[in-house]
Amino acid sequence: MLKRATFAVLLPALVLTVAGCTGDDDGGDGDGGEDLAGRLSAAQTVLDDAQSLELDLTTPELPSGTTGLLEAKGTGTHAPAFEGDVKVSLKGVPINAEVVSVDGTVHAKTGFSPTFLPLDPASIGAPDPATLMRSDDGISSLLTETDDLKSGGESRDGRDVLTTITGTIEGAVIRGLIPTAQADTTFDATYRLTEDDVLRDVTLEGLFYAGDEPVTYTVAVTASDDPVEITAP
């Protein structure tokens, strides 16, 4: 009788223990989807509340013969406006340009011209860099448009401990920023956040251009409380 009584007491506790362990299992990453989404939303708020943003967008390479964006580095505001340096590939030939984009017009100065001239960025397979700065549908909007969130663990970058979060983004969302992106596909996104939920950078991989060869862009965006005035040249 004693053994039966003891087993009857221990069995409910054992069931609760097993159930509790099962409930805490989240693929081994310790972060639920809601927690990851909350961290990305907090990082978006940091960017959207900034007075100005520093942008550094790069790709290691484009498919051979592609006309498209290689680099964009500069300062922007939510006006939206952008001022900086852009490097594009014109069918494989790299071209550098100083760019100022305000009021929906992109002005560019290359080595072929001593002055700034209006430019249609679509003609060189590039976006208007100012659109990346918009607070409603710019680069920060990707943070809350990412699905299938998973934790990629932590890593060190100097003194900072960064959390990696991966996910996918619909091509139609990416196309709103990079007009050449294929809208009927999905893109892989890898975010790195500081302990304070500040975005260090995001790496995007997918079909940004025609064909079936994926391209990888890494975009680092730094928020600043310093206001910046950008005017047309």
User: Tens digits of per-residue pLDDT, 56-111?
Assistant: 999 999 999 999 999 999 999 999 999 999 999 999 899 999 999 999 999 999 97
Phi, psi torsion values for 174, nearest 5 degrees: -65, -40
In the chain, what are the domains?
A: 36-224 (2.50.20.20)
Element (DSSP H or E) covering residue 154: strand 147-157
pLDDT tens sequence across 180-224: 999 999 999 999 999 999 999 999 999 999 999 999 999 999 999
CB-based burial label for 9 (10 Å; 0-12, 13-18, 19+): exposed
Q: What does pTM read for this prediction? A: 0.84
